[in-house]
Amino acid sequence: MPPDHKQKAAEETTLAPVLEKFPEVKAKIQQLFQQSPSFQSICEDYRDCLAAWQHWRQATSEEAPALCQSYAELLQELDQEVREFLEQESAPGSSPETGQETEYS
């Protein structure tokens, strides 16, 4: 049964930040998202963490700098998890080009 429109929209929203970060492996990311609940979870965590980081980066409260830093570190970890997942799922002897490392600060 094909996914309904709400499910497809939710998938696109979840994948958008990861696809933006790794546009050169878009097809692989979409395939992994369809096939792997673990990869889906990583993408959801990446989306949520990025949103939190963006929020705290613009916040002016006293705790904002510390929270921004915490989310930046978590984003780095999630970025690495996506890279590792893509490398694990690659054919032997090939490694996908997964873009430059991003510094979140």
List pLDDT tens digits, range 51-90.
999 999 999 999 999 999 999 999 999 999 999 999 987 7
Read off the pLDDT band of 103 (50, 70, 90): low
pLDDT higher than threshold 50 for residue 96: no
**Alpha-carbon distance 57 to 86, whole Å?**
28
pLDDT higher than threshold 70 for residue 101: no
CA angle in degrees (0–180, nearest 5) for 18-65-15: 10
pLDDT higher than threshold 50 for residue 44: yes
Tokens of 63: 């705790």
Burial class (CB in 10 A: 0-12, 13-18, 19+), 44: middle
**Alpha-carbon distance 68 to 62, whole Å?**
11
| Among 19, 16, 11, residue whose Cα is nearest residue 37 | 11
pLDDT, average across residues 17-45: 94
**Alpha-carbon distance 34 to 103, whole Å?**
28
Q: How far is CA 69 from CA 22, 39, 51, 65, 85, in A?
A: 23, 25, 13, 6, 24
pLDDT score for 74: 97
pLDDT score for 49: 97
